[in-house]
Chains A and B, each alone.
Chain A
């Protein structure tokens, strides 16, 4: 018995001893279906994935994936709201957004999410990432991050700030965040002026211009990731918003040849497509599309089609008294083909984004905008009509309406006629593409009345959006 007892005790002792333990590594479990953010910069595969990830922050439907364009459209006069659904930009349309409106809080949050992700990325590259991929690729990637950051700041400037052209940018602007945040900390930061934000946007785009590659391997990447000419093209938009027309000309001339057919002569060869409809259908990767947000059934879908063209159930139909009523927009104009009358409801819808389930790519910028930017800047910079400006306008117009060619005689009252014409052309050319509000803002024009919504004068508090209520709640220094 004694022997037996010893034997059992020995067995049990071994079992107990071996099990009395702690698996220390299990207290620090590896993530199975995600990556610990601290390990993001350890390989070149992860770093290129981070770069692609940055684009998804601006591709979000809350930003350039749709809503930014939609806000720019429905804030203005070309659309009539059909659903009074306050979750669907109804307050933007009625010019009654408050600091708690979902569009005000969500665009603010998405832009700064994109900005912070860019900042975290740039910091991460400077703290080891560059060594992983090498200096050349690192320079390219950081250039892309700066481009994305500039695009996000630009969107904020359009919706939440007074125009630079109002007073040279002395109005209160935004918090300027240039370093990455990844842990809880003091999140209060005072805003800087509109001019300071614009200066940062330009600085980022200048840096991007010098560090981005000239071209990528395929048209699809050329359209969806920033290369040198993308940064230059975007600068024409930014300088136009600032009213710095000679800068627009300088930048545009880098990517617009002196004579027709206008094209970028180095880098990605931007050019107008012969038929505008080709830009709005698969594969969406023509050289006219400077930057587009790609969508597939397997990748988060855009929502412009949902808002403007989901026939009969869309939140918006075209204002019958808006640009589609313009007699100068001829019925033979190819761009009229995008206007579709649904007889059942007797409303006009826009078919630039015809696919369901909404896999049409979202245009951020097309080459025709660069041409019109340059055209307008040439005249505004000198205050005199100019043959090339008219030629550039014609390049865009006659593509869709070959029966009308403008000459100096088309503008009997001079430059004012020309300004009106180019505004009209932009309104027609970019209908549904999100440039309308930016144009009103930079030119300091009132928002025209529509349906039962009255005109909003430039001096009205409703002219620009208020700052997100969440920012006011948690950033005591916001002070606006």
Chain B
């Protein structure tokens, strides 16, 4: 303020009365209680409930508008009326942050918590709020694994903090631990967290360090994300309507050969194999019913431009004693894959009531119905990379000279796959996807209810007793059908359909009851104490069952209730767990200068072994607001730093997420033998199985420069994880039914985080603010199981391309090196484990040769092969070493523009899809194959094409030719809006109206040749922790444009 004060000019003139209204930028609502003062005077007033004010100032004087949580503005009125839009500052020290079981101001915060305002995640065509978090906060990695609707993003805070358990953070929604991850069984994503409408989010607080997370004990190791939904504000009811429409398109799809190129390449490769015979083995054109040559663009048939629509309506308001907020959302979002869609409808209602001086109570209820629709596998969800009918693969693999239809318009199918057209002698084992798109279903529907109720009593001003009961229930229904037109068998000339249907229903129920007592007291004026004591119980049950039926009685049926020949079960599950906790937190500060926060939690969890049911999880954080010290001023540091706070924390917390409910128990299962019931050991437990332990160290500082026009944070952290759970292999002759789990591995994550927020330009009509953040993370495994230095991991159980090795980061690529193509004979040169070059030819019975043309022999002198065990090497890390985002926001008069760039650097991606697209079986190829060897002496990118060759270009062995740096800079979101002038709106009865357009994934700068370097065939699955950075037949990501408006009445 002093800064502005000095800049003010003192002009004496007549006084005049200025009136106007102050609204908040984010919600467009009138802002009550904003302090309005005449600059350089003591004249001041506050805005009323409707945001209006009236003040007398000297002519030529300026007005200062001030409110907690907003940037102070100084405006020199030109007329007698001034309308002011106040802009919230996410780094304002007065901002309220959510912490476990309470809130506090950022000024008092000891822990490292990044806050993202709800307004930052709206107006984006996302299915769940997580998708909009990328680049918003330092240390937070969000990777959208594919273009399938409502896929849970890979969500890591400060690196991957577990190998076998979940590495995703704990999500607390309005105080209740929410279900998260994929909870459906369809072919679309079915993220449990899609029940939170981004429009309903007030704020997202991401707790990263020990001090901020320790209160969550055995669940805190991966960080904690607090979602706070909107509540009503005192004042007249405000009705708002937010609507957008949009389109999504696949982008950066690979270019594949057309029919003529395909025919040429295949015939060339068949000739090279010495097998060409025009009548029995050759590729040839075929005409469609109109006599035109078939040239099928499978990418066009399988992808589409999706249309989307989403509307949220809300009403909120309140009196001195009662506030309420209610909203409803209705949306239909189509994905870029044919038939993939996300349809959501939901409601949220909450009410808070102050019964009297002592008692406050409140209720929240939300109900969501989400339909996650898809008729065909995308081949992109975890475990699906090699799905027969995965769209990601079929789009690039199916021959372009094959039509999905026969001349009579029927589907071109055989018992083993799509019809082969005039490709004589070909065996195409992949299905015709069109009948699946037309008739199949792989749908999921989630009914998600989340509710909670609280009563808080303040018997004395410094005591708050609160009890809160919440439920989170998801009912997940899967509905699947496979059509009889492309699924059938022929035996003895008789065709039998192999249609099938399945349905299953899983009920996930959770209750959570917590009781807290909070004591806030100030002794001797400057000693501020806040003590929290609490108890929490959380119980979760999962119960499900389902039915499968196959072979339709009548081909027109397509529901499970119809007639079928066979019957079976699916989706049988019945488990529960229970967590009970006792916790305390003592916050103390002296004169808002020295801060201390100590927490202790005791957790007991049913899944832990009987000898390890309970654990203690302590945390301690301290901070020092150095600007409050006199010496700070005396050395003049205050001229540079308007605020400066140093903090440090330590905590020992745990991870239990993803631990199977009965992991510690030895169980026996029932089956049948000759129709009699059986019982047999099924899993082997471990009585001492406990949480994975995470020791979090954090040190850093928050700073503000130029009267906090520039603010930011710097942090260093080290997270030592021990007791990583592995199912420890024992010798098979020991005869255990399963490998028992044990807390046995160790690793660490350490790194730096920087963030900076700058109010760069602030002139009357033009404002420019920016936020930049970057995080550097180093991850290293320090112990696996005794006697084992490494574990390999496979993608979808088929291709082993990932490895965890002691001394290396989690999920490195495990790849075989190559050395180009031999110009003499057109063979791919491989490099064996000893660094020696070896050539491969698909021809003949001996395939591997030394460079001198002699057969390659192994150590035993037998004909050798290049294989993964002997010859793969650690190719590099797949988790980015650096990542972050840059947000720029511009306001000019009523226009605003928000541009978010995200980037991830220092990592490798394995583009396995490229191996598919250069495979020399009947597969169609990428146009890059055109650069292949044909004549001696030729330097070519790809070897001689030989029909059937699936080794030279990487299908059977993951090769370095398909491995790339994944570094990228992405124009993630651009939002351009215009706020209609208020003067115009009042005539229409509106209080605010904003129209906008948004573009998402507009542009990527990367050397990665695949559709998107931000991919993960293994997604957010637990297997995905150790096999990230794999792009194996994954469907492309989408580029989305939306236009919308936000209106308030």
Contacts and interface: CB of A to CB of B under 8 A. Distances in A.
Contact of B606 (A29, A174, A187): A29
Interface string A26-50: 1111011111111010000010111
Given A5-B358, A22-B604, A52-B678, A182 B736 contact: yes
Nearest to B862: A96
Interface string B732-758: 111111001010000000000000000
Contacts of B577: 29
Contacts of B332: none
Contacts of B459: 5, 9
Contact of B668 (A16, A40, A52, A189): A40
B734 A26 contact: no
Most chain-A CB neighbours within 10 Å: which of B359, B539, B734? Answer: B734
B668 A116 contact: no
A37 B667 contact: yes
A319 B670 CA distance: 41
Contacts of B537: 21-23
Most chain-A CB neighbours within 10 Å: which of B577, B582, B728, B731? Answer: B731
Given A9-B459, A16-B515, A224-B673, A473 B681 contact: no
A48 B734 CA distance: 24
6 contacts: A53-B671, A55-B673, A187-B733, A474-B730, A475-B731, A478-B731
Interface in A178-222: 181-185, 187-189, 220-221
Interface string B573-609: 1111110101000000000000000000000111000
B730 A34 contact: no
Nearest to B581: A22
Contacts of A253: none
Nearest to A477: B731
A120 B681 contact: yes
Contacts of B728: 184
Given A27-B606, A29-B662, 16 more contacts: A9-B358, A12-B455, A29-B606, A33-B573, A34-B668, A35-B667, A55-B674, A56-B678, A113-B732, A177-B735, A187-B733, A297-B566, A468-B732, A473-B729, A475-B733, A478-B731
B357 to A, nearest CB: 8
B665 A184 contact: no
Given A20-B535, A21-B535, A40-B668, A33 B732 contact: no
A237 interface: no
Contacts of A300: 671
Interface string A65-109: 000000000000000000000000000000000001000010011
Contact of B733 (A49, A59, A175): A175
A183 B740 contact: yes
B467 interface: yes
B511 to A, nearest CB: 11
What is the interface residue range for chain A against chain B?
35 or more
B680 interface: yes
A222 to B, nearest CB: 11
B790 interface: no
Most chain-A CB neighbours within 10 Å: which of B606, B686, B728? Answer: B606
Nearest to B356: A4
Nearest to B665: A36
Contacts of A183: 666, 684-687, 740
B119 interface: no
B735 A56 contact: no
Interface string B333-361: 00000000000000000000000101100
B669 interface: yes
Contacts of A185: 730, 734
> Per DSSP, are chain B's interface residues mostly helix, strand or loop, or mixed?
strand
Given A26-B606, A34-B669, A184-B740, A52 B731 contact: no
Interface of A: 4-5, 8-9, 12, 15-16, 19-23, 26-29, 31-38, 40, 46, 48-50, 52-57, 59, 100, 105, 108-109, 112-113, 115-117, 119-120, 174-175, 177, 181-185, 187-189, 220-221, 224-225, 294, 296-300, 311, 468, 470-471, 473-475, 478
A27 B735 contact: no
A108 B679 contact: no
Interface in B685-742: 685-687, 728-737, 740, 742
A34 B669 CA distance: 5
Q: Can you list the 9 inter-chain pairs with the closest CB atoms, starting with the nearest?
A: A116-B735, A475-B731, A53-B680, A187-B734, A53-B678, A26-B578, A49-B679, A187-B730, A37-B666
B679 A184 contact: no
B457 interface: yes
Contacts of B676: 48-49, 52
Given A23-B537, A29-B577, A52-B676, A182 B604 contact: no
A238 B153 CA distance: 59
B545 to A, nearest CB: 10
A23 B680 CA distance: 31
Contact of A15 (B455, B604, B686, B687): B455
A28 B613 CA distance: 9
B668 A184 contact: no
A56 B671 contact: yes
B59 interface: no
A53 B679 contact: yes
Contacts of A56: 671, 673, 678, 680
A295 to B, nearest CB: 9
Nearest to B533: A20
A29 B513 contact: no
B674 A294 contact: yes
Contacts of B275: none
B606 A298 contact: no
Contacts of B455: 12, 15
B672 interface: yes
B819 interface: no
A9 B359 CA distance: 9
